[in-house]
Amino acid sequence: MKLRLILGDQLSLSTSSLSDLSQDDLILMCEVRQEATYVKHHKKKIAFVFSAMRHFAEDLRRRGFNLRYVVYDDPENSGSLLGEVRAALDLHPCEEVVVTNPGEHRLLAEMQSWADELPVPVVLRDDDRFLCSTEDFAQWADGRKQLRMEYFYREMRRKYSVLMDAGGPIGGQWNYDAENRKPPAGGLDVPETYKSDPDAITQEVLALVEAHFPDHFGDLLPFHFAVTRDQALAALDEFIARRLRLFGDYQDAMIQGEPWMYHSHIALYMNCGLLHPLECIERAEAAYHRGDAPLNAVEGFIRQILGWREYVRGIYWLKMPDYKGANALNAERALPEFYWSGDTQMNCMRQCITETKQNAYAHHIQRLMVLGNFALLAGLHPDEVNEWYLLVYADAYEWVELPNVSGMILFADGGLLASKPYAASGSYINKMSDYCGSCRYKHTVKNGPTACPFNYLYWDFVARNDGKLRGNPRMGFMYKSLDRMSGEKRQAIRADSQRFFKAMQANEKV
């Protein structure tokens, strides 16, 4: 008899810890304080994970497996995974504990020490729900000067024969981004995102979250996430039928009051195991072959999953634990209070934070080019920014959050993941959104109290990091522009930035 521990992000029957499951074994699932509170996760995120866990447990019971499920408010709940494994072994003697590797270095290190704490061996198995193993990624990375996602992605396309035609990419190109990234158009009829009504299990979880996590970030209600595999599949199919067609065109567009746009909203389901990445890719590819969605949309969507998702996971496991402490630009400023309250006069930030609070979701460009861009320009400390991103999004787990934050938005890894910082001024946000029209600041004004803060903060960032970024070949143009600026102009940028930072740190409404 084996004890098989299933974590909250391992909710698939194909998880490696269940691969040789027999009817005698005991499956252990537990809602523990240690995992729910080590950062103050968004209320919706906790509700989603607990409800999906309870539904998965129901499914296992229906299939006749032995299950021990410890709910959060069980008075006997020890509050830690190790405590619950110990309690289960006390009641049900087992010959070994089997676990699929967790998605976080901290927990993996902890589990690797369990063998010293428990009376039976602990077997940690690879998480094979990904399309590139950590070993294969390390092999791909070995000896390369640069670890660029695009080359990794091409190999993955070949390996899985996705969108391929006679050994080459369908359509003759690997990447159709040149056709994507249209600015938002007026009169778009953006379809609603998938919504399921909370059943009795979810209602119970919602009451529990309300009672036990009142001081956590975010709105608990309304709650409409899928919490079963069938519902997650329905959400995927709805995306493919209603939004995939325009995914590429409006991938980077932001419209006030449209938090979901043409994105898929499935990261949270893939990351907890309800959906397998390959089935998402296959269904999108099938839509292309049926003629239901154009190549630019399908290729763009598939690249996010087969390319970016696997690539950031590879980087995480390749570079941890050092990656977590990376701060190449020596960013030291504290995260301003408005990241929690949304109380700022910068309309773009207010919109993205408010939607994050409401939905535990913001789409990629909001995370990257508004919230992340500000964090980069303002020089916010990577630890504080990472903590924020890890707790506010329902899809956030460290293996995917950390490389996106430290690598993609903050350039804290010194350019391992991104070839240049994703820094942009107000004119980019104005081009890709309709936020600026209702902002107190003017995106066309470069300096002074009415100027868009992204404008002067952008140049302050470039000037501040001269010693670190001037040598970057993709930043050459920026430094030429900076060098052409008059002393007076540079002084105005510095003074505006200082004034802004002073007000921000004093918690004045900026």
Ligand X SMILES: Cc1cc2nc3c(=O)[nH]c(=O)nc-3n(C[C@H](O)[C@H](O)[C@H](O)COP(=O)(O)OP(=O)(O)OC[C@H]3O[C@@H](n4cnc5c(N)ncnc54)[C@H](O)[C@@H]3O)c2cc1C
Binding residues (CB under 6 A) for ligand X: these are 263-267, 270-271, 301, 304-305, 308-309, 312, 363-364, 367-368, 372, 389, 393, 395-396, 400-401, 404-405, 408-409
Q: Is 456 in the site for ligand SF4 (CB under 6 A)?
A: no
Q: Is 372 in the site for ligand SF4 (CB under 6 A)?
A: no
Report the residue number, 85 or 436, with the smaller CB distance to ligand SF4.
436
Q: Minimal distance in Å, beta carbon 504 to ligand X?
A: 20
Return the SS3 of 147. coil
Report the residue number, 310 or 460, with the smaller CB distance to ligand X.
310
Q: Is 346 in the site for ligand SF4 (CB under 6 A)?
A: yes
How many CB atoms are closer than 10 A to CB 486? 8
Q: Minimal distance in Å, beta carbon 368 to ligand SF4?
A: 14
Query: 147: closest CA among 368, 310, 298, 4?
Result: 310
Residue 350 interacting entry, from ligand SF4, ligand X, none, C-beta within 5 to 8 Å by type: none
Q: Which residues pair with 165 in a beta bridge?
A: 168
Q: Is 454 in the site for ligand SF4 (CB under 6 A)?
A: yes
Report the residue number, 4 or 105, with the smaller CB distance to ligand X.
105
Residue 409 interacting entry, from ligand X, ligand SF4, none, C-beta within 5 to 8 Å by type: ligand X
Q: Minimal distance in Å, beta carbon 259 to ligand SF4?
A: 16
CA–CA separation, 324 and 78 (whole Å): 29
Cβ–Cβ under 8 Å, residues 201 and 231: no
The owner of tokens 């508004």 is 370
Query: Helix crossing, 453-464 with 487-505: angle to 10°?
Result: 110
Amino acid at 163: L
The owner of tokens 């590139």 is 132
Q: Minimal distance in Å, beta carbon 369 to ligand SF4?
A: 10
Q: Is 277 in the site for ligand SF4 (CB under 6 A)?
A: no
Residue 443 interacting entry, from ligand X, ligand SF4, none, C-beta within 5 to 8 Å by type: ligand SF4
Q: Is 362 in the site for ligand SF4 (CB under 6 A)?
A: no
Q: Minimal distance in Å, beta carbon 436 to ligand SF4?
A: 3
Tell me how long the chain is.
Answer: 510
Q: Which residues pair with 69 in a beta bridge?
A: 29
Which of 202, 296, 347, 359 binds ligand SF4 (CB under 6 A)? It is 347
Residue 264 interacting entry, from ligand SF4, ligand X, none, C-beta within 5 to 8 Å by type: ligand X
Residue 430 interacting entry, from ligand SF4, ligand X, none, C-beta within 5 to 8 Å by type: ligand SF4
Q: Is 376 in the site for ligand SF4 (CB under 6 A)?
A: no
Peptide bond preceding 321 in cis form (omega within 30 of 0): yes
Q: For the residues of 417-478, what is the DSSP string, one character each? A: S-SS-----HHHHHHHBS-GGG-SSBTT--SSTTB-HHHHHHHHHHHHTHHHHTT-GGGHHH
Token pair in block for residue 307:
């390319």
Q: Which residues pair with 98 in a beta bridge?
A: 4, 123
Binding site for ligand SF4 (CB under 6 A): 346-348, 426, 429-430, 435-436, 439, 441, 443, 452-454
